[in-house]
Structure formats: structure tokens, C-alpha cells
């Protein structure tokens, strides 16, 4: 049996049925761990372990089929066989968190793997593997990351996640569009599986059940069980092209959209191995942060959605992204920000104090500028990504240069295509001060071919490919970073194979990717 069959065989029947989109009601005795396990937010002495009790992941009330709070025991061990238990405890689930658990584990040894599992209702969960970060300032010699974005349930199988799970990496980075909020349009026929809802997600119950549906996927469960993760979000965790409190639809009132966003953020928290402290300033959810891996690497996770200024250069009642003429004054307005002024200040303070050899910046969008044309052929700029927030991008790159940040490398998603880019001091010109890699989608439809025709006007883009689905890996050592663009053979094949499309090296002290 291959890994997929093993995972399918090991899962609840309900989970695999739900994976095929069939309406599914669990029996009273259905197993509780249909959504798998996860770990995240690693520190030198611990991490968060997560599960959610959901014998019926599609329950119409969003409670996963749980009617009374469940007692859940957890164990953390030094070995895969769970013989040398080093921490154990138990907790009650609550309806307020849809019976999800976020357990913060501390007091562990740095820079080593641990294994964990849960027990509830007489059943044991799968065993997950977590890993602590190296001690502060430790001279650690290697870190392997695997990164993914844009997983649309309906357009493909999550084979990319299955292959990521086998990468033997230290940390997974989710770079946005972990779910899609879309409904199930009857007009679309080229889908491999369907979501049960006709309309798009708007309420807490709907977002909860969307996350639960995704988490029934055996490949995604395998990835979460294989390594701890950090996650940022892009737009589809809430609504296509939204900005802060503003819907993409101009007639939706801020108050109405704020309630929807709150529900979506809440469901994100409930399904991610985040520390409960991210809720401390509710309704804000503080997901940006810095994660240190000894002297080798600092990973800065940015939030490009929650605090951003309203979309620039809007047309009519739509706040959707589009290519606006470069004459639109919003594009360069210094009062506008992608990150919000507080997050900007925090980021630049981190650049000043960070001394790690590599500075990985994990965020959701393409940072490099892209010269495009409007529909009537004028020089134009896409408004939705960093190019719509040019002043913020300029401040960020300037802060990198003036603080002499060691080896800044940006990783992003959103584009549904691979990009390798030099980030230049003045956008299109000037010295290269940082390196950028954008990963293609796990399954979402690829970027339009028309993007390829812009490449002659964008010589700082070293590579573009919109024909594949997959993920990225990066292996860091003190002297270099190696990044691979890993592609799956066919998103519509649940047994898709994986291969490497491109491989790049970045040398210590020399920004800019070099193809290997
Ligand atoms: Fe996407």
C-alpha cells in the first residue's frame, strides 16, 4: 500500500466519505479524531499541539457532532513509539471553541523532535511529530522549510500536501488561501470534488465547517502530523480581495463585513495550532510574529490583510483588484499601507535587532513590482498586491537596506504561478537587496497566460511558470540556502507524483537567486 492508502485505511470511514463530498451523518459511536492533529508556533522549549473533537465534521450546527464537552487527554513523548512520555495532561473542550484544543507545551529540550497524541471517547488520535526550535543563539547548522499556498478543495486533490509530508522538513509555512470561501457553483463542471454549500461562507458555522471539510483530507492531515507549522492568511480565508474592514463589494457596510471577518478569523484560530495569546486583543487577531531558529534563521510571519488600507484606485462600486493606470495617485500615496503602521513599525524594529544569518519573511503576496498594461494598453499596476501599496513596499525595502539585514529572503503565494525575483532598491532598478520566491498553488487554477507577456518589461523577474501545481522547499545552512520548486504531476490525480521543476541557490552575503 502507498502512503495515501495507509492514511485512508487509518481514517474514520466518515472522513473519507466527506472527502468525496457526499452528505454524511456520523453514527453515535463515530470516532472523535476525524480532523487529525497538528502542532505549531515552535519555541526553544515547546510548541502548541492541536486537535478538534468532531465525530461529525459536517454537523449543521458547526459543533462537529459533539453535544457535551469532551475530556481529552494528551501526551508528549521523546520517541515515536510514545514510550518515553515527558509531558501529559488533560483538558475539557468547550462549545465556544467548537471543541478544538490548543495545548501549549513548555519545558522541553531545544532543537529536537517530539511526538504527541490525544485520547478521547475511548479512542486515540494519530501520532503527530513536532519539533522544538534551537536554543537562543545556538550555532545550529541546518533548517528545512516546506511552503504552500492556495489549496482549493474543488479544483484538485491535495497531492502536494502528501508529498510535503514526506519531505522530512522541520517546519511547514502556510502562505495563504489555506481554504477557499467559495460556494458550489452548479455551472462549474471541471471539478474533482465539491463543497456541500451552494453559497459562499459568511457565518461562523459555515467557516467552521469549511475548515473541518478541508481537515478531513488525508493528505493535509499527513502534512500537519509530519511537522509543526506557522501560518499566515491571504484573502480567501475571509473573502476574495477584501482589505481590513472592507468587503470587495463596495455596498457592503463596514459593520456587516466586520462581523463576517470576525467569524472567519475565529474559525481560522479554531483550526490552526496557534497560541491562545493571538486572541488577547480581540477582535484583532495577532498572527504576525517572529520565530527564531538559533543563530541560523529568523522567520518573520507578516499579515497582509487585517490592517491594510482600502484597495487603491477603485472603479465604480467594486473593490476588486484590477490593473489601474499608473496615473492613479493612490498607488504611491505614502499614507497608505499594506501592513498597517503598527505592524510596519514592529517589522522595521525587528530588522534593526535581528542578527540571524538568514531572514526568512513569510507572507502572502508577490513583493516584486510588475509592469503591466491596462485593458486599453496604458502602463498599469495591479492594485491588489504589494504594487498597490508601493509606499509601504519602499519603506520595507529601505528598512532592510539601512539596517543591513542579513540575507533577507521573501516567500509568498497568491499568484498561482512560480516567480523568482530580485527585489531591487528602487523597484525596477538599483542594487538587489533581497531575494524573492513565490510558490504556485496547491490546486487553484493557474495564473493567466497573459502574465507571461509582461516579462520583457520586468527583467528583475528571473523565472515565471504558470503551468504547474505544487509547493516550495528551502534548506538553510550557514553558507547558503537552496530552494526547490516541487511540482505534482496532475492535480486531478489523487496519486499524483512529484518532481523538481527548478532549484535555486542563494549564497550568504549575496542577494539574488542563482539557478542550480
Ligand atoms: Fe489563491
Distance 150 CA to ligand 1 centre (A): 4
Q: Which residues of the chain have pLDDT under 50?
A: 1-28
Distance 138 CA to ligand 1 centre (A): 36
**Cα–Cα distance measured from residue 99 to residue 72, given in angstroms and rounded to the nearest whole number:** 10
What pTM was estimated for this model as a whole? 0.94
Distance 115 CA to ligand 1 centre (A): 32
Q: What's the pLDDT score for residue 11? A: 38
List of residues 6+ apart from 438 with CB closer than 8 A: 366, 411, 412, 413, 414, 415, 417, 418, 419, 420, 421
**Cα–Cα distance measured from residue 457 to residue 276, given in angstroms and rounded to the nearest whole number:** 46
Nearest to 238 by CA among 181, 310, 192: 181
Distance 370 CA to ligand 1 centre (A): 18
Distance 384 CA to ligand 1 centre (A): 12
The Cβ of residue 132 has, within 10 Å, a number of other Cβ atoms equal to: 21
**Cα→Cα distances 457→205, 241, 373, 379, Å:** 46, 26, 10, 10
Sign of the four-CA dihedral 23, 27, 28, 29 = negative
Residue 228 and residue 131 in contact, taking contact as beta carbons nearer than 8 Å: yes
Distance 27 CA to ligand 1 centre (A): 35
Q: What's the pLDDT score for residue 29? A: 62
The DSSP code sequence of 391-423 is: HHHHHHHHHHHHTT-SSEEEEE-SSSSEEEEEE
Q: What's the pLDDT score for residue 274? A: 98
Distance 287 CA to ligand 1 centre (A): 19
**Cα–Cα distance measured from residue 481 to residue 434, given in angstroms and rounded to the nearest whole number:** 13
Q: What's the pLDDT score for residue 30? A: 79
Residue 156 and residue 469 in contact, taking contact as beta carbons nearer than 8 Å: yes
Q: What's the pLDDT score for residue 16? A: 37
Distance 447 CA to ligand 1 centre (A): 10
Distance 373 CA to ligand 1 centre (A): 22
Distance 432 CA to ligand 1 centre (A): 27
**Cα–Cα distance measured from residue 296 to residue 356, given in angstroms and rounded to the nearest whole number:** 5
Nearest to 396 by CA among 368, 437, 429: 368
Ligand 1 (single-atom ion) residues, CB below 5 Å: 150, 177, 444
The Cβ of residue 1 has, within 10 Å, a number of other Cβ atoms equal to: 8
Distance 377 CA to ligand 1 centre (A): 26
Which three cell numbers, joined as nine digits, stand for 243?
482589505
Residue 99 and residue 54 in contact, taking contact as beta carbons nearer than 8 Å: yes
> Within 13 A of 30's CA, how many CA atoms are on the CB side?
26
Distance 28 CA to ligand 1 centre (A): 37
Distance 285 CA to ligand 1 centre (A): 21
Sign of the four-CA dihedral 6, 216, 180, 184 = positive
Distance 234 CA to ligand 1 centre (A): 8
Residue 32 and residue 123 in contact, taking contact as beta carbons nearer than 8 Å: yes
The Cβ of residue 438 has, within 10 Å, a number of other Cβ atoms equal to: 28
Backbone φ and ψ for 292, nearest 5 degrees, come out as -95, 135
Identify any residues that bridge with 147 across adjacent strands, giving them in sequence order. 173, 472
Distance 175 CA to ligand 1 centre (A): 10
Distance 514 CA to ligand 1 centre (A): 27
Q: What's the pLDDT score for residue 317? A: 84
Distance 423 CA to ligand 1 centre (A): 22
Identify any residues that bridge with 434 across adjacent strands, giving them in sequence order. 423
The superfamily CATH assigns to domain 142-515 is Alkaline phosphatase D (PhoD) (3.60.21.70)
Find the helix packing angle between 204-215 and 254-271, rounded to 10°.
Answer: 30
**Under DSSP, is residue 465 helix (H, G, I), strand (E, B) or coil?**
strand
Distance 438 CA to ligand 1 centre (A): 12
What separation, in Å, do the N-terminal and C-terminal C-alpha atoms of the chain show? 35
**Cα–Cα distance measured from residue 302 to residue 385, given in angstroms and rounded to the nearest whole number:** 14
Place of cell 542577494: 511
**Cα–Cα distance measured from residue 353 to residue 9, given in angstroms and rounded to the nearest whole number:** 49
DSSP-H helix ranges across 252-357 = 254-271, 341-353
Distance 91 CA to ligand 1 centre (A): 36
Which three cell numbers, joined as nine digits, stand for 346?
514592529
Distance 413 CA to ligand 1 centre (A): 7
Question: Across the beta sheet with 379-382, what order do the strands follow?
Answer: 323-325, 379-382, 372-373
DSSP collapsed to 3 states, 124-193 = ECCCEEEECCCCCCCCCCCEEEEEECCCCHHHCCCHHHHHHHCCCCCEEEEECCCCCCCCCCCCCCCCCC
Amino acid at each position: 500500500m502507498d502512503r495515501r492508502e495507509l492514511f485512508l485505511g487509518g481514517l474514520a470511514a466518515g472522513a473519507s466519505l466527506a472527502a468525496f463530498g457526499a452528505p454524511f451523518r456520523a453514527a453515535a459511536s463515530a470516532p472523535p479524531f476525524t480532523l487529525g492533529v497538528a502542532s505549531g508556533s515552535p519555541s526553544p522549549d515547546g510548541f502548541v499541539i492541536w486537535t478538534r473533537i468532531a465525530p461529525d465534521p459536517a454537523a449543521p450546527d458547526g459543533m462537529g457532532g459533539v453535544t457535551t464537552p469532551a475530556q481529552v487527554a494528551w501526551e508528549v513523548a521523546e520517541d515515536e513509539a510514545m514510550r518515553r512520555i515527558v509531558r501529559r495532561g488533560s483538558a475539557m473542550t468547550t462549545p465556544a471553541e467548537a471543541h478544538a484544543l490548543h495545548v501549549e507545551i513548555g519545558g522541553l529540550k531545544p532543537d529536537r523532535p517530539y511526538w504527541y497524541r490525544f485520547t478521547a471517547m475511548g479512542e486515540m488520535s494519530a501520532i503527530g511529530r513536532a519539533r522544538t526550535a534551537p536554543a537562543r543563539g545556538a550555532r545550529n547548522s541546518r533548517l528545512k522549510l516546506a511552503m504552500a499556498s492556495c489549496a482549493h478543495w474543488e479544483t484538485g486533490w491535495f497531492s502536494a500536501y502528501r508529498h510535503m509530508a514526506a519531505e522530512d522538513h522541520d517546519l511547514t509555512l502556510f502562505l495563504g488561501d489555506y481554504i477557499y470561501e467559495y460556494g458550489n457553483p452548479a455551472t462549474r463542471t471541471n471539478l474533482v470534488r465539491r463543497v456541500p454549500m451552494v453559497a459562499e461562507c459568511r457565518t461562523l458555522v459555515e467557516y467552521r465547517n469549511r475548515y473541518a471539510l478541508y481537515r478531513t483530507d488525508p493528505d493535509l492531515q499527513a502534512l500537519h502530523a509530519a511537522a509543526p507549522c506557522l501560518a499566515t492568511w491571504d484573502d480567501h480565508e475571509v473573502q476574495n480581495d477584501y482589505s481590513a474592514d472592507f468587503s470587495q463589494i463596495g455596498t457592503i457596510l463596514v459593520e456587516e463585513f466586520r462581523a463576517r471577518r470576525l467569524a472567519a478569523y475565529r474559525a481560522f484560530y479554531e483550526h490552526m495550532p496557534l497560541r491562545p495569546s493571538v486572541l488577547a486583543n480581540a477582535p484583532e487577531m495577532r498572527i504576525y510574529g517572529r520565530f527564531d531558529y538559533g543563530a541560523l534563521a529568523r522567520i518573520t510571519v507578516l499579515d497582509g490583510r487585517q490592517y491594510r488600507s482600502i484597495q487603491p484606485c477603485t472603479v465604480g462600486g467594486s473593490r476588486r483588484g484590477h490593473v489601474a493606470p499608473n496615473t492613479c495617485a493612490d498607488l504611491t500615496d505614502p499614507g497608505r499601507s499594506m501592513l498597517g503602521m503598527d505592524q510596519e513599525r514592529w517589522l522595521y524594529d525587528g530588522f534593526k535587532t535581528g542578527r540571524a544569518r538568514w531572514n526568512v519573511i513569510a507572507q502572502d503576496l508577490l513583493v516584486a513590482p510588475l509592469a503591466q498594461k491596462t485593458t486599453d494598453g496604458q502602463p498599469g499596476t495591479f492594485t491588489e498586491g504589494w504594487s498597490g501599496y508601493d509606499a509601504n513596499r519602499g519603506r520595507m525595502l529601505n528598512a532592510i537596506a539601512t539596517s543591513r539585514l542579513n540575507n533577507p529572503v521573501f516567500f509568498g503565494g497568491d499568484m498561482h504561478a512560480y516567480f523568482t525575483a530580485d527585489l531591487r532598491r528602487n523597484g525596477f532598478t538599483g542594487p538587489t537587496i533581497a531575494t524573492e520566491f513565490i510558490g504556485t498553488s496547491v490546486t487553484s487554477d493557474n495564473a493567466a497566460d497573459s502574465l507571461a507577456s509582461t516579462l520583457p518589461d520586468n527583467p528583475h523577474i528571473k523565472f515565471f511558470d504558470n503551468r504547474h501545481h505544487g509547493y516550495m522547499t528551502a534548506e538553510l545552512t550557514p553558507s547558503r540556502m537552496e530552494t526547490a520548486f516541487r511540482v505534482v504531476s496532475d492535480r486531478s490525480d489523487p496519486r499524483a507524483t512529484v518532481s523538481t521543476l527548478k532549484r535555486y541557490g542563494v549564497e550568504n552575503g549575496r542577494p539574488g537567486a542563482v539557478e542550480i
